[in-house]
Chains A and B, each alone.
Chain A
């Protein structure tokens, strides 16, 4: 581990932020077009974030401030370990377990900070967010463990590399279609897109965890949200949709995947949180278990195209 690793890590961090924020801005335009509006400028998301950072801010106590910093720190640390088209800041450390544990720091920091604001809407939002996490995580984890079992590695970049060279047929989402469906649905839950956005519902619980954030705190939360989106989409892209052989391919696939999720979510209603849990435990969980059994006992999809 040299200084260069840290420089690369910083580059990934910066690139991830700029790239994802641009994509988000672009997707706000897509959303607007779906609703037959003209939509904001493509760099509106940057303006929003810098505007929020520019405003004054108020603290609701030590936990509130510390939670924001902890969440941002945890998420930034996670981004550094994400492999992008074979490029890794810290080689051989892009393990699924490392990423999921580091991601948990960020999530818990956010929950802590929101609960520290003392607002009841924030507590409701946090409890919904964690329930939602529990709902999508179990089917997704079963599918990811299936992948780890099938390919004998937990390294995200290696799993991504194994899918390349065969075009679309190499993707795990195609080789293991049920697992691919589960991952795609879980992505909606991870990103908090409709129909699984009950924890952020602006009209019902006043944007949930975000309710007491204003000014600079809110700006940090927006940055955090962009980075978290990058982690989640990257993870699914690498594990199930073949990553990318070059940065350009990766960026294009990433944009398509995220835009597709956004377009679908724009025409969805919203599940109540108990319905979301029921849905995840009824459909994706069953799919995930069937996929696991198929891979373990029949071996289909692991080497069928080799």
Chain B
């Protein structure tokens, strides 16, 4: 997605990106299979806190959202809600082939096939499911992307909001959630 490589951040943004890159709080959205890969990534075997990453309780506090696998259309609404609650700058990492092209659920009536039509994905991790090594590697990549100012999905979302909204509505008909918490 990153075609142009010119760096037109000012000094403040560079300093800010240094902090953002070295302290990433994450919120994982674990309706897919991938949630089970995260406990070993967090705990003593792989220890993601080395990279300055840690889990956070709510989307408002988080910097990166991990979409760990397939998304049914019903959960996609929640993902969009959560994503829009996060504060800029925010990033999305999508796990597994299900988020790239639908994976084994490519012809399911209930799941979406391509996540970045609905929300801007900064980084994909291929695999079904990616192992913790791959996850750690992806986090290292995310850090270097943020440092170089290339993880601009959130800006892309703001600039192309109509396009994303149209895709969301095409698939979901409405993004509004009807349940006891949202009415």
Given contacts A44-B23, A54-B20, A55-B89, contact A39 B61 (CB under 8 A): no
Q: Which residues of A contact B19 (CB under 8 A)?
A: 47, 50-51, 54
Q: Mark A40-63, 1 if CB is under 8 A from B, else 0.
A: 110010011011001111100000
Question: Smallest Cβ distance from B57 to chain A, in angstroms?
Answer: 4
A164 within 8 A of B: no
Given contacts A47-B19, A48-B23, A202-B57, contact A214 B86 (CB under 8 A): yes
Is A15 part of the contact surface with B, judged by Cβ < 8 Å? no
Give bound CA distance, A267 to B22, whole Å. Answer: 28
Which among A175-183, A204-212, A291-299 touches the partner chain?
Answer: A204-212
- B88 in complex: contacting residue of A28, A40, A55, CB < 8 Å: A55
How would residues 51 to 76 of chain B score, 1 for a CB under 8 Å from any chain A CB and 0 otherwise?
01001111011010000000000000
Closest to A54 in B: B16
CA distance A35 to B47 in the complex (A): 10
B87–A56 CB distance below 8 A: yes
Q: Does B178 contact A (CB under 8 A)?
A: no
Report the minimal beta-carbon distance from B183 to chain A, rounded to whole angstroms: 15
Rounded to whole angstroms, the CA-CA distance of A212 and B57 in the bound complex is 10
Per the bound structure, the CA–CA distance linking A58 and B85 in Å amounts to 9
Q: Does B44 contact A (CB under 8 A)?
A: yes
Chain A residues whose C-beta falls within 8 Å of the C-beta of B22 in the assembled complex: 41, 44, 47, 51
Within the complex, the shortest CB–CB distance from A217 to chain B, in Å, comes to 9
A211 pairs with B20, CB closer than 8 A: no
Q: How far is the CA of A35 from the CA of B86 in the complex (A)?
A: 30
Q: How many residues of A contact B (CB 8 A)?
A: 30
Q: Are B58 and A207 in contact (CB under 8 A)?
A: yes
How far is the CB of B42 from the nearest CB of chain A, in Å? Answer: 9
Partner of A211, one of B16, B23, B49, B57: B57
The answer to whether A39 and B49 touch (CB under 8 A), given A210-B61, A214-B60, is yes
The answer to whether B47 touches A37 (Cβ under 8 A) is yes
Chain B residue numbers with a CB within 8 Å of A51 are: 19-20, 22-23, 63
Residues of A within 8 A of B182 (CB): none
List residues of A whose CB falls within 8 A of some B CB: 28, 32, 35-41, 44, 47-48, 50-51, 54-58, 202-203, 206-207, 210-215, 218
